Protein backbone atom coordinates (compact mmCIF):
# COMPACT_ATOMS: atom_id res chain seq x y z
CA UNK A 1 0.00 0.00 0.00
CA UNK A 2 1.89 2.98 -1.26
CA UNK A 3 0.22 5.58 0.90
CA UNK A 4 0.81 3.84 4.19
CA UNK A 5 2.65 5.95 6.73
CA UNK A 6 6.33 5.08 6.49
CA UNK A 7 8.07 3.51 9.44
CA UNK A 8 9.23 6.04 12.03
CA UNK A 9 7.08 8.76 10.50
CA UNK A 10 5.98 10.97 13.34
CA UNK A 11 3.09 13.36 13.85
CA UNK A 12 5.59 16.22 13.91
CA UNK A 13 6.64 15.52 10.33
CA UNK A 14 3.18 16.05 8.92
CA UNK A 15 2.69 19.19 6.89
CA UNK A 16 -0.42 21.25 6.40
CA UNK A 17 -1.05 19.71 2.98
CA UNK A 18 -1.04 16.19 4.35
CA UNK A 19 -4.26 14.34 5.02
CA UNK A 20 -4.10 11.45 7.44
CA UNK A 21 -6.55 8.65 6.80
CA UNK A 22 -7.45 5.47 8.61
CA UNK A 23 -8.20 2.62 6.23
CA UNK A 24 -9.93 -0.58 7.18
CA UNK A 25 -8.70 -3.68 5.43
CA UNK A 26 -11.93 -5.57 6.03
CA UNK A 27 -14.71 -3.24 4.90
CA UNK A 28 -12.46 -0.85 2.92
CA UNK A 29 -13.80 2.15 4.76
CA UNK A 30 -11.60 5.22 4.79
CA UNK A 31 -11.97 8.00 7.27
CA UNK A 32 -10.00 11.11 7.95
CA UNK A 33 -8.01 10.93 11.14
CA UNK A 34 -7.56 14.03 13.22
CA UNK A 35 -4.15 13.91 14.85
CA UNK A 36 -4.46 17.33 16.43
CA UNK A 37 -3.32 17.05 20.00
CA UNK A 38 -1.18 13.96 19.54
CA UNK A 39 2.44 14.15 20.67
CA UNK A 40 4.79 15.36 17.94
CA UNK A 41 7.08 12.39 18.43
CA UNK A 42 4.31 9.82 18.15
CA UNK A 43 4.90 7.45 15.25
CA UNK A 44 1.82 7.20 13.06
CA UNK A 45 2.18 3.46 12.68
CA UNK A 46 1.86 3.01 16.40
CA UNK A 47 -1.73 4.21 16.11
CA UNK A 48 -2.66 1.44 13.72
CA UNK A 49 -3.25 -1.27 16.26
CA UNK A 50 -5.51 0.96 18.35
CA UNK A 51 -7.74 2.35 15.64
CA UNK A 52 -11.26 0.99 15.55
CA UNK A 53 -13.16 1.08 12.29
CA UNK A 54 -16.37 3.08 12.51
CA UNK A 55 -17.88 0.94 9.80
CA UNK A 56 -17.41 -2.66 10.92
CA UNK A 57 -15.85 -2.29 14.35
CA UNK A 58 -12.61 -4.02 13.49
CA UNK A 59 -9.70 -2.96 15.65
CA UNK A 60 -6.56 -2.27 13.67
CA UNK A 61 -6.60 -0.03 10.64
CA UNK A 62 -3.87 1.15 8.35
CA UNK A 63 -2.76 4.76 8.60
CA UNK A 64 -2.38 6.44 5.22
CA UNK A 65 -0.89 9.78 4.35
CA UNK A 66 -2.20 11.60 1.32
CA UNK A 67 -1.53 15.01 -0.10
CA UNK A 68 -4.41 17.42 -0.30
CA UNK A 69 -5.33 18.43 -3.85
CA UNK A 70 -4.30 21.97 -4.68
List interacting residues with Zn ion (CB under 5 A).
Answer: 24, 26-27, 29, 53, 55-56, 58
Min CB(53)–Zn ion separation in Å: 3
| CB of 39 or CB of 56, closer to Zn ion | 56
DSSP 1-61: -TTBPPTT-BGGG--TTEEEEEE-TTT--EEE---TTS-TT-BGGGGTTT-B-TTT--B--
Min CB(4)–Zn ion separation in Å: 16
Min CB(51)–Zn ion separation in Å: 10
Amino acid sequence: MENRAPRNYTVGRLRTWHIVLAWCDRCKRRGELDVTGYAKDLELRRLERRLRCRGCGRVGCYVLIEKAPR
